[in-house]
Amino acid sequence: MEIELVHEREVEREVQRLISSDPAQHALHPDVLALATSGTLSANISRAFRHADVALAETTLQIPKGFPEVFTGLLFTDDFYHTITIPSFKTSGSMDQFIRPVEWIVTARTNDGARCLVVISPYEANALIHIFRESKRAALHIFSARSNLSLQSMEDLQRFSVPAVEQPIPRYLAISLNLFSGALYIRDKKTYDDICGLLRLKLEGLPTHLANPRIINSTGFVRTAAARRELGMPVMGFEESALPFFRKLITMRRYGKGFGPSHMGKLLYGKKLEDSDFL
């Protein structure tokens, strides 16, 4: 008689709980109210707003060179940033588990007429919704990072806006929004190519004379300005590999869940996407 043995693996469950923190007190800054009323962002940005790199302060993320330039048209209110009360004995990583998802966005213009996006908190959106309903200068939009291939992209900010707007946002702002919010899926091949340009990635069709690890590393990052020019990459982009940064940012936004099979998962781990990936 044969006896089949089933080997069992002993597993010990370890629950990782959030760090104990007090929630921050919400506040509507007068400058945020002025933005909703006028639709114009002053050239001298007040303390009510943060640039993208400052919006990730108190996290363990290492901001790569070129980050402020790539996200120059994306701003965040102080109320959006402050989800918890940061203790006086703050340590690096205080905000790692408390970064807020991007959901409410104001489209506005700077004094020189350039389009910009200002990400606000749900509290601010609720407090200002009545102003946006009557506004002819600014609009409030709802947004959700695309986390599933079956979901439609919301990067054009046309799904829900108050008041209704017909003009989509500029392409470079949509790409910045997707990158910062941790979107996993890319709309089309053109957007994919644009993202590769910003990240300085060359994942296919590499000329023989550039196949040198001192010029292009194993992940496809193009190190030198001369090689970038030869490959037709845009002037604006990261000056060092931003792949580790975005891997960690997306992991933080997904609370540790994997994302390897997604568009961004493949891209950030050096795998090129095919036309069939966007069908």
User: Residue 235: what residue type?
Assistant: V
Q: Which helix (H) or strand (E) holds 115?
A: strand 115-120
| In the chain, where the domains are located | 26-183, 184-279
Phi, psi of 115 (to 5 degrees): -75, 145
Looking at residue 206, its pLDDT comes to 82
Classify residue 278 by its DSSP letter.
G
How far is CA 203 from each of CA 54, 75, 172, rounded to the nearest angstrom?
A: 31, 31, 21
d(CA 242, CA 247): 9
Helices (H), 24-182: 30-38, 67-70, 78-81, 122-134, 171-181
d(CA 26, CA 46): 18
d(CA 97, CA 25): 18
Helices (H), 140-224: 171-181, 189-199
d(CA 201, CA 80): 32
270 contacts 203 by C-beta, under 8 angstroms: yes
In the three-class reduction of DSSP (H, G, I as helix; E, B as strand; rest coil), residue 108 is classed as strand
What's the whole-model pTM score? 0.89
d(CA 228, CA 201): 9
β-pairing, 104-110 vs 40-41, is parallel
Query: In angstroms, what is the C-alpha Rg of the chain?
Result: 21
Per residue of the chain (279 residues), give pLDDT as tens.
Answer: 566 666 677 777 766 666 678 889 999 999 999 999 999 987 677 889 999 999 998 899 999 999 999 999 999 999 999 998 877 655 667 788 899 999 999 999 988 888 999 999 999 999 999 999 998 889 999 999 999 999 999 999 988 999 988 788 999 999 999 999 999 999 999 999 999 999 999 988 888 889 888 999 989 999 999 999 999 999 999 999 999 999 999 999 998 899 999 999 999 999 999 989 987
How far is CA 200 from each of CA 203, 240, 265, rounded to the nearest angstrom?
A: 10, 8, 17
